[in-house]
């Protein structure tokens, strides 16, 4: 069974769960006119546009452990996708990105609404409303998690896993913000720590481990899944860095070059800095961290990266983590069809274009 086949099925179940949950909540939310219905609608549309891979991994973890996808796994997957939406909404604010998933980002949508109504300081209005929308998504997610129907000990373990993981995501984000604002060159291990805590653990380790726990799986195997998730997450983030410089905006649905404008200390940036000549370093210093860097500035950085083979180095690093992930997948004591799903997910992570 391939990744595409498996996740097409879980996506349908997650969307039904999302619609049902938000429909149930909208009755209470719409009493707070006009914003209750507004935010419920925006969160639904925004979340439905996602790939829902994280929620699908919760379902996969549960099915690997118990040979079935429980209602609790679907509900936990729905909660995870709502939190993912919240993180993206807040990321776009911090990164000053105005596009996400082929449409204006949520805070930009609110800024446009303010402009249409003639409200003062439309940008600040949009940012403030975006922060609120993200917070609402997080609290809705934890409300969904509070309603798990299975064994209380399993539900409590998963709730604790969610809370602990997302606390670390916040710290990973703070590390990332400080690294981007600082002029110091940070070592590769710090960059990888940012990747682990900001992305890898919540995107892959958490959903696999949570699903496995809800399926009643053994703790020792859960640890294997967490290590696998970390390897997959590192690949995902390095690929994001690559696409953020070399990708096609029409395919990505978001701007290329935002990492440069924000001064993000990515692995690609570190490798480029190591290989650049003194004159080229001056060029990079004049562009990195400049919110108003032009498309031409981004193009020059991309050309430098290609000239020094930084794109090829990024692919080698991903291949190394991919080899580790493949070994972990093949060592899992689960049915072969689930290993096939994980291997095809790994292949997609290494080759994706968005």
- List the domain range (segments joined by +) for residue 296: 3-351
- Return d(Cα 49, Cα 16) in angstroms, integer: 14
Encode burial over 123-146: b for 16+ CB neighbours within 10 A, e otherwise: eebbbbbbbbbbebbbebbeebbe
Mind listing the pLDDT tens digit for each residue in 333-343?
Answer: 999 999 999 99
- The CATH code of the domain that includes 315 is 1.10.600.10
**Does residue 247 surpass a pLDDT of 90?**
no
- Return d(Cα 180, Cα 199) in angstroms, integer: 16
Cα 300 to chain centroid, rounded: 28
Mind listing the pLDDT tens digit for each residue in 111-137?
Answer: 999 999 999 999 999 999 999 999 999
Q: Identify the pLDDT of residue 334.
A: 96
User: Structurally, how many domains does the chain consist of?
Assistant: 1
Angle at which helices 336-351 and 53-66 pack, to 10 degrees? 160
| Mean pLDDT, rounded, of the chain | 92
Q: Identify the pLDDT of residue 340.
A: 96
For the chain, where are the alpha helices, taking DSSP H only?
A: 3-29, 35-48, 53-66, 71-95, 106-117, 122-145, 152-181, 188-195, 206-214, 219-246, 249-252, 258-262, 267-275, 278-287, 295-307, 310-330, 336-351
Higher pLDDT, 1 or 139: 139
| Res. 108 pLDDT band, cuts 50 70 90 | very high
Q: Identify the pLDDT of residue 255.
A: 75
pTM, full prediction: 0.91
Q: Identify the pLDDT of residue 265.
A: 87
Going by C-alpha positions, the residue among 199, 147, 144 that lies closest to residue 176 is: 199
Q: Identify the pLDDT of residue 250.
A: 81
């Amino acid at each position: 069974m391939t990744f595409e086949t498996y996740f097409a099925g879980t996506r349908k179940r997650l969307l039904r769960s999302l619609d049902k949950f938000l429909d149930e909540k909208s009755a209470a939310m719409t009493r707070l006119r006009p914003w209750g219905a507004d935010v419920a609608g925006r969160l639904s549309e925004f979340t439905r546009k996602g790939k829902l891979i994280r929620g699908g991994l919760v379902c996969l973890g549960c099915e690997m452990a118990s040979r079935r996808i429980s209602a609790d796994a679907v509900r936990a997957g729905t909660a995870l996708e709502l939190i993912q939406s919240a993180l993206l909404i807040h990321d776009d604010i911090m990164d000053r990105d105005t596009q996400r998933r082929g449409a204006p980002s949520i805070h930009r949508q609110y800024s446009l609404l303010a402009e249409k109504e003639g409200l003062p300081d439309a940008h600040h209005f949009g940012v403030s409303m975006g922060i609120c929308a993200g917070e609402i998504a997080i609290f809705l997610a934890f409300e969904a998690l509070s309603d798990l129907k299975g064994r209380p000990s399993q539900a409590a373990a998963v709730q604790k896993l969610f809370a602990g993981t997302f606390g670390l995501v916040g710290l990973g984000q703070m590390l990332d913000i400080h690294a981007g604002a600082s002029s110091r060159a940070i070592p590769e291990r710090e960059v990888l720590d940012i990747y682990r805590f900001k992305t890898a653990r919540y995107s892959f380790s958490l959903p696999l481990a949570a699903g496995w726990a809800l399926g009643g799986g053994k703790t020792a195997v859960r640890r294997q899944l967490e290590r696998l998730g970390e390897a997959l997450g590192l690949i995902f983030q390095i690929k994001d860095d690559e696409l953020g410089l070399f990708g096609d905006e029409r395919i990505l649905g978001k701007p290329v070059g935002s990492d440069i404008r924000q001064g993000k200390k990515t692995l690609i940036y570190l490798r480029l800095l190591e290989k650049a000549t003194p004159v080229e370093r001056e060029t990079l210093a004049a562009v990195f961290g400049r919110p108003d860097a032009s498309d031409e500035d981004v193009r020059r950085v991309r050309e430098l990266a290609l000239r020094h083979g930084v794109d090829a180095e990024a692919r080698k690093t991903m291949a190394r983590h991919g080899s580790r992930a493949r070994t972990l997948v093949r060592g899992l004591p689960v049915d072969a069809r689930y290993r096939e799903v994980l291997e095809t997910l790994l292949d997609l992570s290494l080759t994706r274009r968005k």
